[in-house]
Amino acid sequence: MNLRHFIFISILTIVMFATPASAIVVSPPSEARSEFMSYYDQLSVNGKAMYDAMEGADAETTTITVDLPMELRVAEYDQKYAKAIMKKTFDAALTAMQLSSPLAYWGWDPSAVKWDMNTRMKGDIAVISSVTLQISLSIYREAGEFPGVKKMLDDLNDAVGIFKTNSTMIRDKVRDINNYLVDMVTYDPNCMTIDRSIYSHDAYGALVDPDHHAVCDGYAKAFLLLCQKEGIKCVVVLGTGLATYENHAWNYVKLDNNKWYAVDVTWNDRTNNAYFLLGGDEFFKTHQQGVFLESSIMPYTFFSPPLSRTSYDYDQEWHIKYAWLFAAGVGAALILILCRNKLSFIIHRRSK
């Protein structure tokens, strides 16, 4: 191999490997991956039965009896223990439904849903084989004109159908949903007074109520509904805003790179989208999963999706930031080709 060929091959080698090498240098450390189990899948079999019954209730249903797939049997004197188990099961089912199915009206006012065990005795053993769930819609009736649950559900479905996006990439669809809500919804200015909107904690307040007033969980549930419409994997997460240690809610979305990112539409509404598709390294500086109680944070009820460590733009756009390496390599190769005759002449003279 003569000197000319050696130089040419060396430059081509640099061009071929410069960009991949830069990726290795700047890419974040590998992240542990685990497949996310939906909130529903994290419930017990009895919790799933309660969830299914509440989510599937039609607009006229106010009382449901749920046969438990797994009977609970305890000694007669341990019925308080059985009730504690059932309460935990019911609370988890109701919370999972609230966070996963904003169209299920049983979750619109959790304080209005009551439950009771149906117990029969077999000797000194108490057998709990079913529970009865009841919902009261008095909060809506007392607020004035009550359109009825069916009308509210139809209006919410119609409001979801109004949203349109021409985007094809998941990231762009998520951006359009975020911006749509930021433009439409206003954080309820009366949320701390008796004049607060009764719908502000649900997607109905964000998308249907004429004032479009919502608080954080209303924003988050509306975001979830629009993501579900577009076939985007999304969850609502309950937690704490670390700036004020107040209860808060936001969303995680899964993009086409198979990673999850955080979107806080509520805070985006006042910060020019500073909380859009953030990774855990940045997001958890200001947010923490779990509910703040006095001086500590109660652990979150469910396992949530594992966030990407880095934010989406960093994950996706390193090749743009370091494209100059590739361009420099190509430029060097072009210069070599253009000057090959001159280089050949110089090399030939030196070889004599």
The mean per-residue pLDDT over the stretch 195-219 comes to: 93
Please report whether residue 190 resides in a domain: yes
Residue 32 is predicted with a pLDDT of: 46
Find the helix or strand (DSSP H, E) in which 88 lies.
helix 79-100
The mean per-residue pLDDT over the stretch 54-83 comes to: 92
The mean per-residue pLDDT over the stretch 207-221 comes to: 95
> Which residues, including other chains, have CB under 8 Å from residue 156's CB and lie 6 or more apart?
102, 103, 203, 204, 207, 208, 225
Please report whether residue 347 resides in a domain: yes
Which CATH number is 188's domain given?
3.10.620
Same domain, 209 and 294: yes
Q: Please, how many CA atoms are within 13 Å of residue 341, restricted to the half-sphere of its CB?
A: 1
Residue 341 is predicted with a pLDDT of: 56
Q: How many domains does the chain have?
A: 3
Please report whether residue 297 resides in a domain: yes
Token pair, residue 315, equals 């994950």
| Confidence band of 1 (pLDDT split at 50, 70, 90) | low
Same domain, 211 and 294: yes
Query: How many CB atoms are located within 10 Å of the residue 338 CB?
Result: 10
Please report whether residue 144 resides in a domain: no
Residue 2 is predicted with a pLDDT of: 53
CA 243 to chain centre: 21
Same domain, 224 and 305: yes
Same domain, 48 and 106: yes
Residue 320 is predicted with a pLDDT of: 46
Please report whether residue 149 resides in a domain: no
Same domain, 185 and 303: yes
Distance between CA atoms of 249 and 95, rounded to whole angstroms? 13
- Judged against a pLDDT cut of 90, whether residue 247 lies above it is answered with no
Residue 10 or 61, more confident: 61
| pLDDT tens figures, 113-166 | 999 999 998 888 999 999 999 999 888 777 777 788 999 999 999 999 999 999
- Judged against a pLDDT cut of 90, whether residue 230 lies above it is answered with yes
Same domain, 185 and 287: yes
Question: Which residues form the domain of 98?
Answer: 40-138
Same domain, 276 and 305: yes
